[in-house]
Structure 1
């Protein structure tokens, strides 16, 4: 009986010893003068291996927090192990939309994510300090944010994804505090036009970013995703686009993230130094 108990304890210890590490890192944002929490998942062999790792930044949606992804999709730990990558889940505020607001100086999440957070992650962890070792994706508001940040900062991210992304903000002038971030549509139309991802395709060079995005056909953002797909086709911008049955919910996103991380892993492998 004693031997069996020791065996069970050894098995449990082994499982934990070979599991991804989940940390909460407090990051100082000078641009917003506050401290922002971030979940960082490192693979199981992170401490043992003398190497640098690719990083995938995964953004939450409106009304969410940095803890959403690891709480709702704990399989992220397994994916970090499987693909030998670091996964970073930042906090983007309840309704920041991940840009620097043109009407509210206290909301500078573009600066925070693309400059301050990336610098901290690269300083604190063993990362590949180059766009070839960075990807970014997210759901809903975070899907918009991932494409927005990657389209504007193609020197920082080499690949980007979006899941059920709000890729055209203009049809929603009274939703998710968008009028607080951009001003009323009637008075600040240019803000809405300039900060909608669907209007930022002109920023893309043919091979500057590896792109993947998907949306459920029952999702209220489906139309915008399909229109972005068509726009990318018109401009001959390579991308992976997937539409499938699904709604705007965690059942959809927990399935979607599996395919996106596989896509990013293939990207990292394709650009890795032999």
Structure 2
């Protein structure tokens, strides 16, 4: 009898916990192999037949798809946010951008096309495999550091796909073309023409995209920008805030005490979940 009572009391607690799997993969024709990703499914996923909004959560340089699971404690934080009503139940997809070549962008020579993989293969795969709503309103993207840079670029390239974008401590570099060329060579891209470099700079500089883009299209995405006051990337994030103000692009801008650390990003995540949920809800 005692065993059954313990199970009875334990079940509601278990039912309030989401499910995480960081050992999933998708076969990529574009990248030529298997690509890993992690998923968080909300507590009521298995008990329902409904479809859910989705957050694509991007890791930083040096981590992989398990970063937000292991260091970001995404399961605990999402469970608590959903349980408290701060966030609506959602699926969270965490892709790997650290295998082979590191980064979320296509490479300048076109020999590694991660951005194409993300939009043409990963998104269709997971949005078919899981019960995910596919309208812009129910899709968001967020990420830290390198993933914050990816968040900016993905939402600026495809504002038609994302209702919200939340770059955290985003890697926004103030690079002219020569500086970008030096960084590309350092990363292994050694052969490209001047025109390829010019096109690449125009396409993958978040500041240039905001400076030269259509404010109405950029503003169709809800923006939440967060960077610590001791973060070495503060300058680029501050300039993005100023530029968006100048171009009258609505956005939220947060500066809190902290640096480029998991402690900072774990504190950011509940606010991100709250922010993206505001678009997922009906008001």
Q: TM-score, normalized by length of structure 1?
A: 0.88
- Kindly indicate whether the alpha-carbon contact (under 8 Å) linking 2:223 and 2:252 is maintained by their aligned counterparts in 1: yes
Contact 2:181–2:197 under 8 Å retained in 1: no
Q: 1:6: how far off?
A: 4.0
In structure 2, the gaps of 5 or more residues are none
Aligned to 1:230: 242
In the alignment, structure 1 residue 268 sits paired with structure 2 residue 273: no
Q: Provide the residue aligned with 2:251 in structure 1.
A: 239
The whole-number CA distance in structure 1 between the counterparts of 2:77 and 2:182 is 30
SS class of match (1:135)? strand
What is the alpha-carbon distance in structure 2 between the residues aligned to residue 185 and residue 230 of structure 1? 33
Q: Partners of 2:251 and 2:68 in 1: how far apart? A: 25
| Conservation of the 8 A alpha-carbon contact between 1:185 and 1:192 | no
Q: Which residue of 2 aligns with 1:194?
A: 203
CA distance, structure 1, for counterparts of residue 186 and residue 110 of structure 2: 11
Match of 2:108 among 82, 95, 102: 102
> Could you list the per-position Cα deviations for residues 201-225 of structure 1 after superposition, in whole angstroms to 9, with x for gaps in the alignment?
1334333211111100111100000
Q: Quickly say closer, same or farther: Cα 1:84–1:240, change in 2 above 3 A.
A: same
- What displacement does 1:10 show? 3.7
3-state SS of the aligned residue for 2:24?
strand
Please tell me the root mean square deviation across aligned C-alpha atoms, in Å: 2.7
1:203 paired to 2:213 = yes
Selected match of 1:158 from 163, 184, 188: 163
1:68 alignment partner in structure 2: 67
Within 5 Å, give how 1:70-89 maps onto structure 2.
Answer: 70-74=69-73, 75-78=76-79, 79=81, 82-89=87-94
Q: Which runs of 5+ in 1 are unaligned?
A: none
The number of residue pairs the alignment matches comes to: 268
1:180 aligns with 2:220: no
Please tell me whether the aligned partners of residues 214 and 241 of structure 1 are also in contact (alpha carbons under 8 angstroms).
yes
Is the partner of 1:46 in helix, strand or coil? coil
TM-score under structure 2 length normalisation: 0.85
Higher relative contact order (CA 8 A, sep 6+): 2
88-97 vs 123-132, greater mean Cα deviation: 88-97
Measure, in 1, the Cα distance between the counterparts of 2:246 and 2:37: 38
Instruction: Assess if the C-alpha contact under 8 Å between 2:141 and 2:165 holds in 1.
Output: yes
